[in-house]
A and B are shown apart, each in its own frame.
Chain A
């Protein structure tokens, strides 16, 4: 693959879809979390790639993409912290992290 925008987009699409697939098929809550991380990384990669390759005159500031990636990373950190806290507290209560068993939210 050549060093160009579509290549990066393809890589990030792969990351995204594999992450999504992971999210869909895992029963393990932490496995699902990993999938989400992949999806978020795909998004971050897209942002940075666009900020690198797009015509500078089209954007006000090319670094904005990178800043957004920073925010994505920050939010990912927050999300993982809370999600793991929830998983751990569920684990301590139900002795499992299998999402198939978490059915208390059923309507």
Chain B
């Protein structure tokens, strides 16, 4: 075991982590149609599982390195780009980097990813194109791992794009349904907007750094960037805003695309069109975490751009609250979860916005557990009910006990009930927000209040979801009721594992008041630029406990109200909706954001198209027509002459060729013998020529 976990050996096998899923994707993608389903499942799951084992090995190796500052494994595969720049040379390598941050993400991606793969075996059973499905899923894992492990931003961008591509492929997996294919396209296009921001940021960053540093920059490794970032502060501001802020904001635009924040969150609810495990995969293990990860990865950049940080925090908090309000009224079980994901991601951005990077990652991890669990549980429910609509569910408690139990755990976790993992991470974020030092005085407190309110709403809508799905009586009709069944164990076992993780996941980030070490925070410390910012060290324990009590109280209130509305007095919500009809309609229609985007962006573009078309038709065509009419007059004169003389010549020439062709055509007789004769005739002529001259 010691020999196996030799630091060098592990560093040299880092490539296995992303490449194993890639191999699985290639095999399943190319041979999927011919392989038996069992083999497809085996390849799909096994490749991710082995990648998980390698990740664990990497993690253990990192932990065993005594000095936290040295916890870094880099494997350089080959030189990608080598070019001269500003009298210096600049090289870019395809290199993988395992440091505490990427190790945590790798574990989440491969671990939760593996469980989702396993679950998919049950969920997708009977589907015709399982090879394609598992190939996409593996490719998704690969892209995400590439993104996580990349040692430079350009390689990261490759993974970043790969993730976007795979989300498109998987959301539109059932592409024969136009609605679903459209959802895939929507995800892709909205992501492109974000990617554009990311890429512009990338270019701006490179440009500034290499202009500013002369020959001293030799590459774009994360470490090199980290050392070079201070140069950004001395660069000339653009439009009065520092370059660092610009870059940070542009990267954040990319993050809003991938991680579904205002204003680019609109693709995520539609992404529910894909198979449910895919939703779980996108929401928990991959894709949406990319934005958060990227910001944490570049924390050294964000730290020197406090304005950008404030923007991130505000957007995060507003999204957290805003998405929670939409989730209140949705009836599609997956949509509720989708908005809750957006909301939870908002918390993560809030955390990184207030420089509590490790709290953001902490919430990312716990969220991965309980959100994967929620989605897979919802998938299990959908599998049984064959509908997404919560109005047609109810009373599933007694039909699906395992699903119910595990779902309850996730529910308690997301609602923020201690000691479940969700409570730990969310509370840490709120606490950090409360204590933060944002550029605008009082902003921290305001964001904290918003976050707290969002937490209450979360508890409420999750209670609603539970009540509508599992409590009461079944509303889908007796015919459907007779078919209700618990899902097979290949689906419930991953649920149980995730449930366990959702319960105990909080251990890795215990609050300071417990006087126990915050493992995750300490582990991530070396890669983060801020130390002790998440409220550790000397601070008021009393205040922390108070805030904990407050947030717990809010959560319990939310649950109580939900219970009151949907279990105790089910007539209340209707009355409330009638009372505040306008607000209700606003929420049901998701603030009309899709419609607003339609009006604001799509319509103008279309109108611009029509307008330029009309301009083309009237003005340009008019001018063209006028000139053509003038030309036509001239042409008539010339034409007369042309007809007689030039055309005569041209036609005559064409006629000659035509006749030649008709004559030569006879040479192509199809008779081998005649061909041979012509060959020999050629030789003969050659001989005569040689002899005579």
A-to-B contact residues, CB < 8 Å:
20, 23-24, 27, 29, 32, 99-100, 102-107
Are A20's CB and B670's CB within 8 A?
Answer: no
How far is the CB of B77 from the nearest CB of chain A, in Å?
Answer: 42
**Interface residue stretch chosen among B484-492, B591-599, B672-680:** B672-680
Are A106's CB and B673's CB within 8 A?
Answer: no
Closest to B672 in A: A99
User: A105–B669 Cα gap in the complex (Å)?
Assistant: 7
B672 partner, pick from A20, A32, A107, beta carbons under 8 A: A32
B670 partner, pick from A24, A29, A32, A105, beta carbons under 8 A: A105
How far is the CB of B690 from the nearest CB of chain A, in Å?
Answer: 14
User: A102–B672 Cα gap in the complex (Å)?
Assistant: 8
Closest to B665 in A: A107
User: A99–B673 Cα gap in the complex (Å)?
Assistant: 7
User: A20–B683 Cα gap in the complex (Å)?
Assistant: 11
A-B contact list, 26 entries, CB within 8 Å: A20-B680, A20-B683, A23-B676, A24-B673, A24-B677, A24-B680, A27-B673, A32-B672, A99-B671, A99-B672, A99-B673, A100-B671, A100-B673, A102-B671, A102-B672, A103-B670, A103-B671, A104-B670, A105-B668, A106-B669, A106-B670, A106-B671, A107-B665, A107-B667, A107-B668, A107-B669
How far is the CB of A28 from the nearest CB of chain B, in Å?
Answer: 11
User: A27–B671 Cα gap in the complex (Å)?
Assistant: 10
Closest to A23 in B: B676
B634-693 contacts to A (CB < 8 Å): 665-673, 676-677, 680, 683
User: A99–B669 Cα gap in the complex (Å)?
Assistant: 12
CB-CB contacts of B563-603 with A at 8 A, as 1s and 0s? 00000000000000000000000000000000000000000
**Contact residues in A for B669 (Cβ distance below 8 Å):** 103, 106-107
Closest to A104 in B: B670
**Contact residues in A for B667 (Cβ distance below 8 Å):** 107
Q: Which 4 A-B pairs have the closest CB atoms?
A: A107-B668, A106-B670, A103-B670, A105-B670
**Contact residues in A for B677 (Cβ distance below 8 Å):** 24
**Contact residues in B for A32 (Cβ distance below 8 Å):** 672, 676
A106 partner, pick from B668, B676, B680, B683, beta carbons under 8 A: B668
B-to-A contact residues, CB < 8 Å:
665-673, 676-677, 680, 683
User: A73–B680 Cα gap in the complex (Å)?
Assistant: 22
How far is the CB of B167 from the nearest CB of chain A, in Å?
Answer: 51
User: A24–B665 Cα gap in the complex (Å)?
Assistant: 22
Additional A-B contact list (10), CB under 8 Å, known A23-B676, A102-B672, A105-B670 = A23-B680, A24-B680, A27-B673, A99-B673, A100-B673, A106-B670, A106-B671, A107-B665, A107-B666, A107-B669
**Contact residues in B for A106 (Cβ distance below 8 Å):** 668-671
B676 partner, pick from A24, A100, A104, A107, beta carbons under 8 A: A24
How far is the CB of A27 from the nearest CB of chain B, in Å?
Answer: 7
How far is the CB of A82 from the nearest CB of chain B, in Å?
Answer: 15
**Contact residues in B for A20 (Cβ distance below 8 Å):** 680, 683
**Contact residues in B for A23 (Cβ distance below 8 Å):** 676, 680
Closest to A20 in B: B680
How far is the CB of A20 from the nearest CB of chain B, in Å?
Answer: 6
**Contact residues in B for A99 (Cβ distance below 8 Å):** 671-673
**Contact residues in B for A27 (Cβ distance below 8 Å):** 673
How far is the CB of A84 from the nearest CB of chain B, in Å?
Answer: 15
User: A100–B669 Cα gap in the complex (Å)?
Assistant: 10
Closest to B666 in A: A107
**Contact residues in B for A102 (Cβ distance below 8 Å):** 670-672
User: A103–B676 Cα gap in the complex (Å)?
Assistant: 14
How far is the CB of A86 from the nearest CB of chain B, in Å?
Answer: 11
User: A106–B673 Cα gap in the complex (Å)?
Assistant: 13
**Contact residues in A for B670 (Cβ distance below 8 Å):** 102-107
**Contact residues in A for B671 (Cβ distance below 8 Å):** 99-100, 102-103, 106
User: A23–B676 Cα gap in the complex (Å)?
Assistant: 7
User: A70–B683 Cα gap in the complex (Å)?
Assistant: 24
Interface-central residue, B666, B673, B677, B683, by most chain A CB under 10 Å: B673
**Contact residues in B for A100 (Cβ distance below 8 Å):** 671, 673
User: A103–B680 Cα gap in the complex (Å)?
Assistant: 20
**Contact residues in A for B680 (Cβ distance below 8 Å):** 20, 23-24
Closest to B667 in A: A107
User: A104–B668 Cα gap in the complex (Å)?
Assistant: 10
How far is the CB of B18 from the nearest CB of chain A, in Å?
Answer: 46
**Contact residues in A for B673 (Cβ distance below 8 Å):** 24, 27, 99-100
How far is the CB of A106 from the nearest CB of chain B, in Å?
Answer: 3
**Contact residues in B for A29 (Cβ distance below 8 Å):** 672
How far is the CB of A39 from the nearest CB of chain B, in Å?
Answer: 11
User: A10–B238 Cα gap in the complex (Å)?
Assistant: 89
User: A104–B676 Cα gap in the complex (Å)?
Assistant: 17
Closest to A25 in B: B673
Closest to B664 in A: A107
User: A24–B668 Cα gap in the complex (Å)?
Assistant: 17
User: A102–B668 Cα gap in the complex (Å)?
Assistant: 12
Closest to A16 in B: B683
User: A102–B670 Cα gap in the complex (Å)?
Assistant: 7
Interface-central residue, A23, A32, A104, by most chain B CB under 10 Å: A23
How far is the CB of A105 from the nearest CB of chain B, in Å?
Answer: 4
User: A103–B675 Cα gap in the complex (Å)?
Assistant: 12
How far is the CB of B180 from the nearest CB of chain A, in Å?
Answer: 49
User: A66–B676 Cα gap in the complex (Å)?
Assistant: 28
User: A24–B680 Cα gap in the complex (Å)?
Assistant: 8
**Contact residues in B for A107 (Cβ distance below 8 Å):** 665-670
Closest to B673 in A: A99
**Contact residues in A for B668 (Cβ distance below 8 Å):** 105-107
Closest to A26 in B: B673
User: A100–B675 Cα gap in the complex (Å)?
Assistant: 12
User: A32–B670 Cα gap in the complex (Å)?
Assistant: 16
How far is the CB of A38 from the nearest CB of chain B, in Å?
Answer: 14
How far is the CB of B66 from the nearest CB of chain A, in Å?
Answer: 67
Interface-central residue, B666, B668, B676, B680, by most chain A CB under 10 Å: B676
User: A29–B670 Cα gap in the complex (Å)?
Assistant: 14
User: A54–B384 Cα gap in the complex (Å)?
Assistant: 91
User: A104–B677 Cα gap in the complex (Å)?
Assistant: 19
User: A103–B672 Cα gap in the complex (Å)?
Assistant: 8
User: A103–B670 Cα gap in the complex (Å)?
Assistant: 4
Closest to B683 in A: A20
**Contact residues in A for B683 (Cβ distance below 8 Å):** 20
How far is the CB of B436 from the nearest CB of chain A, in Å?
Answer: 79
Closest to A99 in B: B672
User: A27–B670 Cα gap in the complex (Å)?
Assistant: 13
Interface-central residue, B666, B672, B677, by most chain A CB under 10 Å: B672
Closest to A36 in B: B676
User: A89–B676 Cα gap in the complex (Å)?
Assistant: 22
User: A29–B673 Cα gap in the complex (Å)?
Assistant: 10
User: A29–B671 Cα gap in the complex (Å)?
Assistant: 12
How far is the CB of B75 from the nearest CB of chain A, in Å?
Answer: 48
User: A43–B42 Cα gap in the complex (Å)?
Assistant: 61
User: A105–B677 Cα gap in the complex (Å)?
Assistant: 17
User: A99–B680 Cα gap in the complex (Å)?
Assistant: 18
**Contact residues in A for B672 (Cβ distance below 8 Å):** 29, 32, 99, 102
